[in-house]
Amino acid sequence: MFKPIQNKRIYQQIVEQIRGLIADGTLNPGDKLMSERAMAEELNVSRASIREAFSVLEMLGLIESRPGEGTFITETDPETLIEPLALILMVDKDNVFELLEIRKIIDVENAALAAKQATKEELKEIEEALKSMERLVRENNFTNKADFKFHFAIAKATHNNILVKIMQTIADLLYTSMSTHLRQLYRVEGNPQMLLKQHRKVYEHIKEGNSEGAKQAMYHHLEAAKEELLRIIKQGQIEMEEIE
C-alpha cells in the first residue's frame, strides 16, 4: 500500500502518502492504521519520522489516536485533502520568528476587524478571557493557554472563519516549537503583569469600537512579546555557551 520513501523531508512524504490514500478511498473513516513500529519497518524509516507525520495528520484532523486502541482515520472534511496551510508551515516550523511575523500580521488585523464587528456576546467572551488572565496573574499561574484564549476570542469576533483557522494553526505551531521559551516568558518577573496590561488596552479599544487604536495596541503588544522572547532565547544561548 505504501511507497518507498525518497530523499525529501521524510515525515512530509509520509503525510502526503496517507492523505493520498484517504483521497483515493484506500483508507476510509474508521480504518485503523498500522502501529508506528510496523509502519516504520514497512517504509524503512525511523519511528520518530512516523510520530512526526502522525502529529501533522492529527493537527490536520485526518487521524485520531485512541489510547489503548491505536490510530484511526477520522471523518474527513474534503478541504483538508487540499494542500493545507498547516502542512506548508510545518515544513519550515523551525523558523519560528517567521511564524511570529505572520501571527503579528493576522492578530493586528483581527483586532481592527473585531473593533468594527464584535457583538455584545463576543465582547463578553473577550472580557471573560481577560478576567481569566487577571485571575491567573494573581495566582502566579499565567499560561500560554490563557493568552491564546484571549487572542482566539478576538479572532472569532472578526466573523471570518478562514482567519480563525489560520490563526489557530499558527498558534499551534508556535506553541509546539517554542513551548519552553513561552513558559519562560510567562515566568519572568513582571512579564505577566506587562502582558495583561497590554491585553487590557487591546480589549478597551475593541470595546470602544476604535479600530485604529485596537490595531496599534495589538501591534505594540506583539512587538514587545517578540522582543522579550528574543531576549530570553539569546540569554539561553549565552548560558549554554558558558556551560560548554
In the CATH hierarchy, which top-level class contains the domain 92-243? mainly alpha
* Residue 130, phi then psi, degrees to nearest 5: -65, -45
154-201 tens-digit pLDDT: 999 999 888 888 887 777 777 666 666 677 788 888 888 998 999 999
**Could you tell me the three cell numbers for 140?**
502566579
Question: Would you report the helix, strand and coil content of the chain in percent, each value rounded to 5?
Answer: 75, 5, 25
- Average pLDDT estimate for 145-156: 90
Query: Under DSSP, is residue 63 helix (H, G, I), strand (E, B) or coil?
Result: strand
Per CATH, the number for 10-81 is: 1.10.10.10
Closest CA relative to residue 148, chosen from 108, 90, 107: 107
Q: Residue 243 — very low, low, confident or very high, per pLDDT cuts 50/70/90?
A: very low
What share of the chain in percent tops pLDDT 90?
39
User: For 4-18, 109-123, 216-230, which range has the lowest pLDDT when averaged over its residues?
Assistant: 4-18
User: For 39-53, 82-96, 199-213, which range has the lowest pLDDT when averaged over its residues?
Assistant: 82-96
The pLDDT score that the predictor gives to residue 163 is: 84
Spatial separation of the C-alpha atoms in residues 196 and 194, rounded to whole Å: 5
pLDDT at residue 145 tops 90 = no
- Average pLDDT estimate for 5-21: 77
The pLDDT score that the predictor gives to residue 159 is: 93
Query: Under DSSP, is residue 194 helix (H, G, I), strand (E, B) or coil?
Result: helix
* Residue 65, phi then psi, degrees to nearest 5: -100, 125
The pLDDT score that the predictor gives to residue 76 is: 65
Spatial separation of the C-alpha atoms in residues 52 and 216, rounded to whole Å: 37
Return the residue matching grid coordinates 457583538.
Answer: 119
The domains of the chain are located at 10-81, 92-243
- Average pLDDT estimate for 23-45: 91
- Average pLDDT estimate for 19-25: 82
What share of the chain in percent tops pLDDT 70?
82
